[in-house]
């Protein structure tokens, strides 16, 4: 696999340098190593701060959702690696405007460990912390163990809804409730067609023979629930959307938001072909699409594949999804 990089060990820091140069007035560094980044206008006095974070390699995942009506800060780890507790703590202090800070991040062992340590550090400094761990990946655990599921592209809905609540001045308890509500109503299922190559390792994170696909694969290459011959777009959409709908079990007449997400190397046209079939399946179930999103929202470097996320919305969540939001990677 050919990559446009310099020294692999400098990859993440050079990406951060480039983002700071390309989008002045968007984010600023909260630490000398630039691994804790916050909104350019942080802290928002009297407003809840929202901190997320995780490994690099998922652009625009994590870092791209710092902005108006979204998250207030982010801690940036190496590729597919958790940020440190100190980096998370520095982001926390930098976004604290006196109303407390919400942590919102995916359910991965290293992230959970380091965010928990950072929460302890912040509370010793008198900063109120609430935490919502994201768990939308249907393939990673059965419904009876939904708390064990991974957090994947459903993070976009959690960031958007919680960010809108924080922007309008809701309390920490309310912002945390809304993030939890968005997470609990979201389900995601993905498909991988080719592996990703870690810049430092120079080798694939998993192997997948030509002509095969893996249903339920994780954004770091975690094993899925089915591996077999590559199917048509409609058959793939049936598998992904069907699993989501069985898990959500929504009554006819429900309203939903849908996100069809590319994993890094899948053309936008193919994502729209998936959306076409998924939208038809939702309609067949008597569900109404309130809002739709198609594009690259949470990637895995150059992995080919896609995921579908469906969130059951009500009036509260629809209003929050429609609220203004702005970052170089997201506009509402």
Tell me the average pLDDT across 193-203: 89
Tell me the average pLDDT across 36-59: 96
Backbone angles phi, psi at 327, to 5 degrees: -150, 170
pLDDT of residue 260 exceeding 90, the answer is yes
Cβ atoms of residues 222 and 119 within 8 Å: no
Is-catalytic flag, 226? no
Is-catalytic flag, 23? no
Strands 288-295 and 255-262 turn out to be: parallel
Q: What architecture (CATH level 2) is domain 8-185?
A: 3-Layer(aba) Sandwich (3.40)
Output 171-177 pairs: Cβ under 8 A, ≥24 positions apart: 171/48, 171/99, 171/100, 172/48, 172/99, 172/100, 172/101, 172/102, 172/128, 172/130, 173/130, 175/48, 175/50, 175/102, 175/130, 176/102, 176/130, 176/131, 176/132
pLDDT of residue 1 exceeding 80, the answer is no
The model's pTM: 0.97
pLDDT of residue 251 exceeding 90, the answer is yes
| Number of neighbouring beta carbons within 10 Å of residue 318 | 14
Q: What architecture (CATH level 2) is domain 187-321?
A: 2-Layer Sandwich (3.30)
Position 203 scores a pLDDT of 83
Tell me the average pLDDT across 233-241: 98
Convert the pLDDT of each residue in 140-194 to its tens digit. Answer: 999 999 999 999 999 999 999 999 999 999 999 999 999 999 999 999 999 999 9
Give the separation between CA 26 and CA 217, rounded to whole angstroms: 33
Mean pLDDT of the chain: 97
Convert the pLDDT of each residue in 99-131 to its tens digit. Answer: 999 999 999 999 999 999 999 999 999 999 999
Domain ranges of the chain: 8-185, 187-321
């Amino acid at each position: 696999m050919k990559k446009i990089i310099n020294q692999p060990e400098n990859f993440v820091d050079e990406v951060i340098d480039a983002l700071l140069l390309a989008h002045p007035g968007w984010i600023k560094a909260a630490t000398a190593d630039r691994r804790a980044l916050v909104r350019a206008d942080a802290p928002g006095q009297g407003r809840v701060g929202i901190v997320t974070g995780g490994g690099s390699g998922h652009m625009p995942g994590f870092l791209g959702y710092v902005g108006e009506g979204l998250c207030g800060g982010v801690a940036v780890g190496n590729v597919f690696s958790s940020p440190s507790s100190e980096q998370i703590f520095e982001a926390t202090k930098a976004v604290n405007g006196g109303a407390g800070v919400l942590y919102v991040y995916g359910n991965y062992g290293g992230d959970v460990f380091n965010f928990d340590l950072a929460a302890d550090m912040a509370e010793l400094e008198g900063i109120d912390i609430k935490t919502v761990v994201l768990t939308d990946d249907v393939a990673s655990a059965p419904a009876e163990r939904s708390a064990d599921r991974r957090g994947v592209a459903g993070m976009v809905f959690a960031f958007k809804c919680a960010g809108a609540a924080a922007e309008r001045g809701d309390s920490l308890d309310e912002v945390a409730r809304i993030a939890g509500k968005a997470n609990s109503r979201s389900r995601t299922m993905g498909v991988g067609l080719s592996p990703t190559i870690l810049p430092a390792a120079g080798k694939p994170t998993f192997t997948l023979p030509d002509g095969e696909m893996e249903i339920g694969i994780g954004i770091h290459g975690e094993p899925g629930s089915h591996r077999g011959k590559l199917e048509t777009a409609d058959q793939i959409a049936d598998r992904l959307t069907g699993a989501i709908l069985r898990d959500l079990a929504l009554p006819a007449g429900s309203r939903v938001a849908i996100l069809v997400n590319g994993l890094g190397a899948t053309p936008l046209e193919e994502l729209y072909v998936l959306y076409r079939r998924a939208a038809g399946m939702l309609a067949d179930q008597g569900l109404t699409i309130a809002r739709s999103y198609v594009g690259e929202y949470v990637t895995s470097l150059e992995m080919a594949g896609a995921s579908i996320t469906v969130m059951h919305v009500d009036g509260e969540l629809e209003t929050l999804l429609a609220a203004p939001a702005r970052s170089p990677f997201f506009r509402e």
